[in-house]
């Protein structure tokens, strides 16, 4: 009896299980691809800062806060003191601002959740892109419409190269202004 | 015989039926029995697999948010000048030795990551030595003392700063009130503020005595200078004005004096485009030094004969001028150059041409003797220099410049002996070691044991030292880059030092502690304010500066150097009477030993710095050790060879040390480098090498380390020295002169070149199976002038620091796994006794048709459109095919994750992570790496060119090695820019590529070496 059970397991159950696993894997692979590429990743932030309010409605320039973006590699998240430029006066009573002020006054680091990340072995430089006239939205999406920022584009090597190789199709507004982006290894990997 | 009669076993023959049954049954009974895995005992294979699968499934399902990318933590209040990702530079001063070179510290997000020379410093002109470059590792050294320590028996307990300070001040006050001595042992003090501080301290505590010594100092030269010129500080030599240089066992290009300045000056006169002013270096020496390596004419001569040689030269000089009377003549009248040459088997023609050169180049010829050579030789050299006009004050191009920069004179021998005596008799109540290590440096005074007699001894130090371990208290102090300071480096230049990082462990700088004793209060800003006071009272009033002090002070700090308004003091006239101090003494001993400065660890202070210990020695390429250098004949005579031990007996003391056979060493002569064999220096540096100071006496500190020794060989005792090159015997016919035969090293003589008779061998192959690629825009390339490269190793360390190159330890070096991206190949050709030497920095040649690229199975190494051979670490799988196929052997493989705690040679510590250059990937185990032409700097230049809206230019980038090279031998740029300097050198008549016949089209051009040989008639 046991012998026949082993037979059954090997001939029927194993292929079915294997088939189910493969099919599930294939379906999940494609359906969850944006998920795996982190597209749509929208974490909660320690301070519910709204880009929609600040950058959209009030039209504060991106570079008022992200000051490093045209100077160096990092766009840089603003220091708390930048927030306090206005919020030492404005909306002081709101709970989030009270919280923010506490961070500032106690000199506690404010741990923003990171949303966009290229791997450590790729050296992305904000300044070369911004100084060539490529808008922040090209990679980060329309942040000025987001209450809570989420990732819009893939941050994979394929996504980078797609734009670098087809710059004019991807960024039609910069046709004639920019050439193709570099696509040799050393441009990013060193 | 029928078939049935074949049987396999006796059973088959006896019981054919049973046997037939067994044959039909494939498995023996019991083997195929069904069983349930759950009933099996213990952890069966099946159970194990089931558990593993379950664990995997559970852990995958229970995995935390895989989207999580960590946090970005901005500054709360951002410091004004810091932009993340953009480096800041601060001018400061290196305190590694008493040369006090001006430095520029590169900081990223507030942490120092790279040190270079300060271009505004008129003395070192933007360059520093290998030690200065590597000293950044000492800042982040995980073994730095972090808390004050108090002795408790044989152990030390951590105590609070306030407690330590309170005890110190009470002891100091008590000693002062009792009238017992407070001894402060300091190094070579060149700082006006330190001088004022010590003066103030002596005023407040009247029983204080200051003792000052410097193991690296040129005591014999100072004494000789005093005798000849009446000033204790020898003049600075300006080698840029010297056409003829006679170096007598002097390593002025390697590790003596301000060698960075010397290299720059010397190589200024080695410009192939200016053959008229090409200098000629005669090196007379017993063992191969960097002067000998770079000499045009090298004369091997036992240093005990150098005095006679100089006196004979003086006699010859006088003879050539027809002088037959006077003080000097009387002294040297019995000497004859011809006789001397005959006695010592020297070429008289060579010596005659030397004298001719010295005489004919009156005012631009100079002789220099080694720092550790005897006093009498220095006197003779001073006299010779006087006769050939090296001390003339007439021209703008003075060879010698008066120097009075010392603030506190070094203690005399008697003064140090007095200290010993007082320590012995218990007259010293408090001993303060002011960042000095006398227990090692002055071990000849038996300092270790003397310290036990001091009731209260305190050592101010950064890391473990022998002195610290024998004191009662250890007070940790700030590193150079955490401290304030000012240093007088010449008669009219003061460099300033400013901290670029908050002290990592909350330590105080050593001056703050003394100031605390003066002010009764410990403060971290005390010395800063004190320096400002010095400048307000002493320097600012003389500056005639129209601005107020704060503005003046800020601008001085910004520049890092300040030029005093002092008029140039002319050199004093020489007193020829000094020649009477020379007493000829002929050494009768068989063997002579000479101790030299170390190239890499200074006076042993940098012993815990793995980068420096792993630096290949300039002539032997040995790492992690010192050794006794001998000639091959002497080794044979003693029955030893390299890697065998000998026992040296000198001054009644013994030392066992391995031997290294170095071509170019004279017979019966041994040299050992100082600064090794520290008994306590931290995990990395402890007991690395051998402490030759053990053999010396206190007399020798002041009169040079040249001594008679007894040698006994220990041919059965093996000690493996780790060298980075395979040493081929110069007598092997197969390898002899290979570098020249294959045109790796190409050299000619200056006169041939001037006459147009010398061109390097080139091979201009055109056919290739690989199609030509056309490079548009910039194409990076490098040119290295072998006339200028002296082999000082500054580039190697600069590359290490810039590119996060790991330290791997002696064991790994011995296996040939060193990781340096640039190495200095030293080629010896010709005669074993007096070989010709050439240095060649070798790095990735970034070949247009790179052989490494073709063989990579995963396309991890490719070529960029701007001509760089790229290496993509995250793609590399470590087949090492590329390294195998590289003709230049410049690719390096990470056999381990060398940042792990690897044989304790490189501690994995958080503090060391702060040191890494964030622009360069830290490589892990199993990947190949190599020189990238500093691609991070290329990318940076591209980014700033884009910001300025222009194309990148070849002149925008300086590689780390180029920036560091004191000789300016390296040029980097674009070979597509005909007006650039790189293009000029790349197409120079003397330019060639190494192994050009392979047609790999390398992008590093070497400028053939010209030797300025004298025409011997």
Share of chain B above pLDDT 90, in %: 41
pLDDT (average), residues A81-89: 91
> Which one of B19, B37, B70 terminates a domain?
B70
Expressed in angstroms, the distance from the first to the final Cα of chain A is 63
Residues of B in contact with A103 (CB under 8 A): 76
Give the range among B43-57, B160-174, B526-540 with minimum mean pLDDT: B43-57
Does residue B30 have a pLDDT over 80? no
pLDDT level of residue A125 (50, 70, 90 thresholds): very high
Note whether B936 contacts A71, CB cutoff 8 Å.
no
Clarify whether residues B454 and B328 are in a common domain: no
Is A164 an 8 Å CB contact of chain B?
A: no
Is B864 touching A (CB cutoff 8 A)? yes
Which residues in chain B are contacts of A80 at CB distance < 8 A?
Answer: 74-77
Task: For residue range B728-764, list pLDDT tens digits in order.
Answer: 555 666 667 777 778 888 888 888 888 888 888 888 7
Q: What is the ipTM of this complex?
A: 0.86
Of B76, B85, B864, the CB nearest to A80: B76
Separation CA B690–CA B677 (nearest Å): 4
Q: Which CA distances in Å does B648 have to A41, B444, B675? A: 72, 16, 17
Question: At which residue do the structure tokens 């100077």 appear?
Answer: A71
Tell me if B76 and A73 make a contact (CB, 8 A cut-off).
Answer: no
Judge if B329 and B443 occupy the same domain: no
Do B208 and B227 belong together in one domain?
Answer: no
Q: Judge whether A121 is closer than 8 Å to chain B, CB to CB.
A: yes
Given this model, what pLDDT does residue B3 score?
47
CA distance A163 to chain B (A): 18
Task: Label residue A39 by pLDDT band (50, 70, 90).
Answer: confident
Res B42 pLDDT > 90: no
Q: Residue B786's closest CA among B1010, B983, B980? A: B1010
What was the pLDDT predicted at B12?
59
For residue B68, what pLDDT is reported? 84
Optimal mutation site among B65, B80, B939, B950, interface A, most CBs of chain A within 10 A: B939
- Indicate whether B5 pLDDT > 60: no
pLDDT at B370 over 60: yes
* Residue among B71, B803, B937 with most chain A CBs within 10 A, to mutate: B71
Chain B 942-1001, residues with CB within 8 Å of chain A CB atoms: 942-943, 946-947, 949
Which of residues 79 through 98 in chain A touch B, CB cutoff 8 A? 79-82
Please tell me whether residues B380 and B522 are part of one structural domain.
Answer: no
Minimum Cα–Cα distance from B34: chain A residue: A2
pTM value is 0.88
* Residues in chain B closer than 8 A to A182 (CB atoms): 865
Q: What pLDDT score was predicted for residue B451? A: 87
CB-neighbour burial class of residue B834 (10 A; exposed 0-12, middle 13-18, buried 19+): middle
Q: Is B388 part of any domain?
A: yes
**pLDDT-derived band of residue B102, with 50, 70 and 90 as boundaries?**
very high
**Which chain B residues are Cβ-neighbours of A131 within 8 angstroms?**
946-947, 949
Q: Are B780 and B972 in contact (CB under 8 A)?
A: yes
**Which chain B residues in 64-83 lie under 8 Å from chain A, judged by CB atoms?**
67-78, 83
- Which residues of B fall within a CB distance of 8 Å from A114? 69-72
Total domains, chain B: 5
Same domain, yes or no: B712 and B818: no
Confidence of residue B34 (pLDDT cuts 50, 70, 90): low
Domain membership flag for residue A59: no
Please give the residue range of the domain that contains residue B358.
219-401
Burial class of residue B226, CB neighbours in 10 A (0-12, 13-18, 19+): middle
Mean pLDDT within B886-910: 79
Distance CA B624, CA B607 (A): 10
Both B743 and B703 in a single domain? no
Q: What is the mean pLDDT of residues B523-528?
A: 91
Classify B147 in phi/psi space as left (phi over 0), alpha (psi -120 to 50) or beta. Answer: beta
Evaluate if residue B426 carries a pLDDT over 90: no
Please report which confidence band the pLDDT of residue A18 belongs to, taking 50, 70 and 90 as the band edges. very high
Kindly indicate the confidence band of residue B118, based on its pLDDT and cuts at 50, 70 and 90.
very high
Contacts of B933 in chain A (CB under 8 A): none
Chain B segment 117-176 residues within 8 A of A by beta carbon are none
Question: Which of B946, B948, B957 best probes binding to A when mutated, by most A CB atoms within 10 angstroms?
Answer: B946
How far B477 CA lies from chain A's nearest CA (Å)?
28
Q: What mean pLDDT is predicted for residues A102-121? A: 91
Domain of residue B632, CATH code: 2.40.40.20
Which chain A residue has the Cα nearest residue B861?
A185
Cβ-based burial of B631 (10 A; exposed 0-12, middle 13-18, buried ≥19): buried
> Is residue A13 domain-resident?
yes
Range B206-216 average pLDDT:
90
Structural domain ending residue among the three candidates B12, B36, B70 = B70
* pLDDT, position B600: 87
Least CA distance to B946: which residue of chain A? A128
User: Which of A4, A161, A185, A187 would you mutate first to test chain B, the one with the most B CBs within 10 A?
Assistant: A185
Which CATH number fits the domain that encloses residue B224? 3.40.228.10
Best-predicted range by mean pLDDT among A91-100, B11-20, B34-43, B46-55? A91-100
B206 with B235, same domain: the answer is: no
What pLDDT was estimated at residue B15? 62
When pLDDT is cut at 50, 70 and 90, the band that residue B832 belongs to is: confident
How far does the CA of residue B886 sit from the closest CA of chain A (Å)?
20
Residue of A nearest to B74 (CA): A79
Per-residue model confidence (pLDDT) at position B2: 47
Question: For residue B77, which residues of chain A lie inside 8 Å, CB to CB?
Answer: 79-81, 104, 107
Question: Which of chain B's residues have a Cβ under 8 Å away from the Cβ of A185?
Answer: 862, 864, 870, 872, 875
Per-residue pLDDT at B572: 84
A72 interfacial to chain B (CB closer than 8 Å): yes
B593: in domain: yes
DSSP assignment of B475-536: EEB--GGG--EEEE-SSSEEEEE--SS--TTS-B-HHHHHHHHHHTS--SSHHHHHHHHHII
pLDDT, residue B50, reads 80
Whether residue A17 lies inside any domain: the answer is: yes
CB atoms near residue B951 (< 10 Å): 11
Q: Which of residues 129-158 of A touch B (CB under 8 A)?
A: 131-132
User: pLDDT tens for residues B215-243?
Assistant: 888 899 999 999 988 888 888 898 988 89
Site of tokens 């308004």: B565
pLDDT of B7 > 60? The answer is no
Q: Which of B70, B78, B868 sits opposite A79 (nearest CB)?
A: B78
In a domain, B987, yes or no: yes
- Check: CB of residue B232 under 8 Å from CB of residue B406: yes
pLDDT at B933 > cutoff 80: yes
Contact B72 A186 (CB under 8 A): no
pLDDT at B575 over 90: no
pLDDT digits (tens, 9 = 90+) for B240-258: 888 999 999 999 998 888 9
Higher per-residue confidence, A102 vs B566: A102
Contacting residues of A for B74, CB less than 8 Å apart:
76-80, 109-110, 112
pLDDT digits (tens, 9 = 90+) for B255-299: 888 999 999 999 999 999 988 889 999 999 999 999 999 999 999
> Is the predicted pLDDT of residue B903 greater than 90, yes or no?
no
**Residues of chain A contacting B920 with CB distance shorter than 8 Å:** 190
Residue B431: enclosing H or E segment and its boundaries?
strand B428-434
A115 touches chain B (CB under 8 A): yes
Q: Pick from A109, A119, A125: which is nearest to B76 by CB?
A: A109
Q: Two tokens at B463?
A: 């890391």
Contacts of the segment B394-397: beta carbons below 8 A, 24+ positions apart: B394/B363, B395/B363, B397/B238, B397/B241, B397/B364
Q: Do A71 and B932 touch (CB under 8 A)?
A: no
Give the model confidence (pLDDT) of B125-142 as tens digits: 899 999 999 999 999 988
Q: How does residue B18 score in pLDDT terms, banded at 50, 70 and 90? A: low
B446 shares a domain with B389: no
Q: Model confidence at B901, in pLDDT bands (50, 70, 90)?
A: low
In a domain, A65, yes or no: no
Question: Based on the domain organization, do B156 and B297 belong to the same domain?
Answer: no
Query: Are residues B937 and B826 part of one domain?
Result: yes
Nearest-Cα distance to chain A for B559, in Å, is: 24
Q: Which of B268-272, B562-566, B963-967 has the lowest mean pLDDT?
A: B562-566
Where would I find the H helices in B205-284? 219-229, 259-268
CB-based contacts of B546, cutoff 8 Å, min separation 6 = none
Question: Does B88 fall in a domain?
Answer: no
Q: How far apart are CA A87 and CA A69, in angstroms?
A: 23
Distance CA B291, CA B281 (A): 8
Q: Taking residues B526-537, what's their average pLDDT?
A: 92
Best to test chain A binding among B27, B34, B56, B74 (most A CBs inside 10 Å): B74
Distance between A189 CA and the closest CA of chain B, angstroms: 6
What is the least distance, in Å, from the CA of B77 to any CA of chain A?
A: 5
If you write DSSP's letter for every residue of B842-862 in order, what string do you get?
E-----TT-HHHHH-TT--EE
User: Residue B499 above 90 pLDDT?
Assistant: yes
Question: How many domains are contained in chain A?
Answer: 1
The CA distance from B13 to B19, in Å, is 9
CA distances for B540 relative to B496, B544, B552, B888, angstroms:
14, 7, 8, 56
pLDDT at B26: 58
In angstroms, the CA A35 to CA A135 distance is 24
Looking at residues B622-650, what average pLDDT do you find?
Answer: 90
- Asked whether residue B1 carries a pLDDT value surpassing 50, the answer given is no
- Is residue B852 domain-shared with residue B719, that is, in the same domain? no
Instruction: Give the model confidence (pLDDT) of A47-83 as tens digits.
Output: 999 999 999 999 999 989 998 898 888 988 999 999 9
A77 to chain B: closest CA residue? B74
| Same domain flag for B955 and B923 | yes
Mean pLDDT of chain B: 87
Evaluate whether residue A83 is within a structural domain: no
Asked if B84 lies within 8 A of A109 by C-beta distance, the reply is: no
Q: Containing domain of residue A13, as a range?
A: 2-31
Grade residue B585 by pLDDT with cuts at 50, 70 and 90.
low
Ramachandran sector of residue B25 (left: φ over 0; alpha: ψ -120 to 50; beta: rest): beta
Distance from CA of A181 to the nearest CA of B (A): 12
Cα–Cα nearest to B560, from B954, B175, B118, B880:
B118
The last residue of a domain, from among B401, B433, B455: B401
Q: Using a CB-CB distance cutoff of 8 angstroms, which residues of chain A are in contact with residue B34?
A: 2-3
The answer to whether residue B927 sits within a structural domain is yes
Determine the residue of chain A that is closest to B871 in CA distance: A190
Between CA B671 and CA B683, with CA B677 as vertex, the angle to 5 degrees is 145
> Distance (Å) from the C-alpha of residue B840 to the closest C-alpha of chain A?
26
For residue B121, pLDDT over 50 is answered with yes
Instruction: Give the model's pLDDT for residue B257.
Output: 87
Does B89 map to a domain?
Answer: no
Total residue count of chain A as it appears in this document = 190
Q: Report the residue of chain B nearest A3, measured CA to CA.
A: B34
Q: Which residue of A has its CA nearest to B70?
A: A114
Calculate how close chain A gets to B817, using CA atoms only, in Å: 22
């Amino acid at each position: 009896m046991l012998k026949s059970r082993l037979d059954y397991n090997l001939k029927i159950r194993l292929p079915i299980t294997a088939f189910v696993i493969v099919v599930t894997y294939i379906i999940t692979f494609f359906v969850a691809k944006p998920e795996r590429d982190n597209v749509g990743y929208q974490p909660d932030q320690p301070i519910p800062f709204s880009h929609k309010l600040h950058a959209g409605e009030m039209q504060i320039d991106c570079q008022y806060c992200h000051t490093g973006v045209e100077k160096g590699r990092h766009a840089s998240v603003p220091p708390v003191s930048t927030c306090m430029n206005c919020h030492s006066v404005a909306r002081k009573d709101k709970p989030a601002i009270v919280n923010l002020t506490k961070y500032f006054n106690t000199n506690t680091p404010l741990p923003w959740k990171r949303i966009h990340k290229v791997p450590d072995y790729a050296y992305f430089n904000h300044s070369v892109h911004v100084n060539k006239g490529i808008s922040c939205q090209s990679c980060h999406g329309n942040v000025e419409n987001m209450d809570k920022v989420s990732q819009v584009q893939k941050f994979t090597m394929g996504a980078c190269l797609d734009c670098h190789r087809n710059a004019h199709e991807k960024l039609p507004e910069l046709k004639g202004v920019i050439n193709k982006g570099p696509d040799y290894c050393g441009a990013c990997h060193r | 015989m029928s078939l049935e009669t074949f049987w396999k076993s006796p059973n088959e023959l006896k019981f054919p039926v049973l046997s037939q049954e067994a044959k039909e049954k494939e498995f023996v009974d019991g083997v195929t029995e069904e069983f349930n895995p759950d009933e099996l005992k213990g952890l069966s294979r099946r159970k194990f697999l089931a558990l593993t699968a379950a664990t995997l499934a559970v852990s995958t399902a229970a995995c935390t948010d895989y989207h999580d990318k960590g946090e970005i933590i901005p500054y709360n209040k951002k410091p004004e000048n810091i932009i993340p990702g953009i480096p800041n530079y601060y001018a400061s001063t290196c305190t590694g030795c008493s040369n006090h070179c001006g430095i520029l510290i590169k900081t990223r997000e507030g942490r120092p990551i790279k040190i270079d020379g300060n271009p505004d410093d008129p003395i070192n002109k933007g360059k520093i030595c290998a030690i200065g470059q590597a000293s950044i590792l000492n800042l982040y050294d995980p073994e730095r003392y972090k808390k004050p320590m108090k002795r408790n028996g044989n152990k030390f307990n951590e105590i609070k700063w306030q407690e330590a300070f309170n005890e110190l001040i009470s002891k100091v006050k008590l000693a002062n009130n009792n009238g017992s001595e407070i001894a402060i042992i300091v190094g070579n003090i060149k700082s006006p503020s330190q001088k004022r501080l010590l003066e103030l301290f002596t005023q407040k505590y009247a029983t204080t005595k200051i003792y000052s010594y410097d193991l690296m100092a040129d005591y014999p030269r100072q004494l000789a200078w005093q005798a000849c010129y009446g000033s204790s500080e020898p003049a600075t030599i300006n080698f840029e004005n010297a056409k003829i240089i006679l170096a007598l066992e002097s390593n002025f290009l390697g590790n003596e004096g301000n060698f960075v300045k010397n290299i720059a000056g010397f190589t200024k006169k080695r410009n192939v485009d200016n053959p008229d002013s090409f200098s000629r270096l005669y090196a007379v020496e017993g063992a191969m030094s960097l002067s000998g390596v770079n000499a045009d004419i090298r004369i091997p001569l036992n240093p005990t004969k150098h005095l006679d040689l100089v006196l004979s030269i003086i006699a010859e000089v006088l003879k050539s001028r027809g002088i037959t009377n006077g003080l000097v003549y009387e002294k040297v009248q019995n000497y004859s150059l011809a006789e001397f040459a005959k006695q010592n088997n020297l070429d008289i023609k060579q010596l005659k041409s030397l004298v001719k050169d010295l005489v004919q180049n009156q005012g631009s010829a100079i002789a220099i003797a080694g720092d550790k050579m005897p006093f009498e030789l220095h006197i003779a050299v001073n006299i010779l220099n006087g006769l050939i006009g090296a001390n003339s004050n007439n021209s703008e191009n003075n060879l010698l410049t008066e120097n009075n920069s010392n603030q506190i004179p070094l203690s005399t021998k008697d003064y140090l002996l007095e200290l010993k005596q007082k320590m012995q008799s218990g007259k010293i109540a408090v001993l303060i070691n002011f960042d000095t290590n006398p227990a090692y440096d002055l071990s000849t005074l038996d300092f270790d044991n003397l310290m036990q007699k001091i009731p209260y001894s305190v050592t101010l130090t950064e890391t473990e030292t022998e002195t610290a371990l024998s004191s009662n208290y250890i007070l940790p102090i700030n590193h150079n880059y955490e401290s304030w300071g000012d240093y007088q480096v010449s008669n009219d230049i003061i460099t300033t030092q400013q901290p670029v990082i908050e002290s990592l462990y909350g330590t105080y700088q050593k001056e703050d502690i003394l100031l605390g004793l003066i002010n009764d209060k410990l403060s971290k800003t005390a010395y800063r304010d004190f320096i400002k006071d010095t400048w307000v009272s002493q320097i600012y009033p003389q500056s005639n500066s129209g601005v107020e002090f704060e503005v003046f002070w800020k601008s001085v700090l910004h520049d890092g150097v300040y030029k005093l308004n002092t008029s140039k003091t002319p050199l004093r006239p020489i007193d020829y009477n000094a020649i009477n101090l020379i007493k000829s003494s002929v050494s009768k001993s068989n063997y002579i030993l000479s101790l030299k400065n170390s190239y890499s660890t200074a006076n042993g202070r940098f012993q815990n710095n793995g980068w420096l210990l792993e630096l290949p020695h300039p002539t032997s390429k040995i790492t992690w050790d010192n050794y006794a250098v001998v000639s091959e004949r002497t080794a044979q005579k003693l029955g030893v060879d390299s890697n065998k031990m000998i026992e040296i007996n000198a001054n009644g003391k013994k030392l066992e040390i391995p031997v290294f056979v170095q071509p170019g060493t004279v017979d019966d002569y041994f040299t050992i480098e100082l600064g090794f064999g520290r008994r306590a220096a931290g995990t990395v540096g402890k007991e690395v090498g051998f402490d030759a100071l053990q053999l010396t006496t206190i007399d020798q500190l002041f009169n040079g380390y040249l001594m008679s020794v007894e040698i006994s060989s220990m041919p059965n005792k093996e000690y493996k020295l780790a060298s980075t090159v395979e040493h081929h015997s110069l007598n092997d016919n197969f390898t002899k002169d290979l570098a020249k035969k294959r045109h790796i090293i190409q050299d000619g003589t200056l006169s041939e070149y001037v006459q147009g008779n010398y061109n390097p061998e080139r091979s201009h192959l055109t056919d290739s199976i690989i199609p030509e690629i056309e490079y548009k825009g910039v194409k990076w390339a490098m040119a290295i002038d072998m006339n200028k490269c002296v082999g000082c190793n500054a580039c190697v360390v600069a590359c290490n620091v810039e590119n996060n190159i790991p330290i791997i330890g002696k064991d790994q070096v011995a296996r040939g796994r060193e990781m340096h991206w640039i190495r200095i190949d030293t080629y010896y050709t010709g005669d074993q006794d007096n070989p010709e030497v050439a240095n060649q920095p070798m790095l990735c040649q970034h070949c247009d048709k790179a052989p490494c690229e073709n063989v990579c199975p995963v396309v991890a190494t490719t070529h960029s459109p701007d001509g760089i051979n790229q290496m993509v670490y995250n793609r590399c799988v470590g087949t090492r095919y590329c390294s195998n196929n590289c003709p230049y052997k410049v690719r390096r493989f990470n056999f381990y994750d060398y940042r792990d705690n690897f044989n304790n040679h490189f501690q994995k510590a958080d503090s060391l992570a702060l040191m890494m250059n964030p622009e360069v990937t830290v490589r892990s185990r199993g990947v190949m790496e190599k020189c990238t032409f500093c691609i991070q700097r290329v990318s940076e230049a591209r980014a700033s060119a884009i910001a300025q809206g222009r194309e990148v230019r070849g002149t925008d980038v300086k590689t780390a090695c180029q920036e560091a090279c004191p000789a300016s031998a390296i040029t980097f740029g674009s070979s597509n820019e005909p007006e650039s300097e790189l293009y000029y050198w790349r197409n120079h008549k003397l330019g060639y590529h190494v192994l050009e016949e392979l047609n790999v089209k390398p992008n590093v051009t070497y400028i053939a070496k010209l030797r300025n040989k004298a025409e011997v008639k």
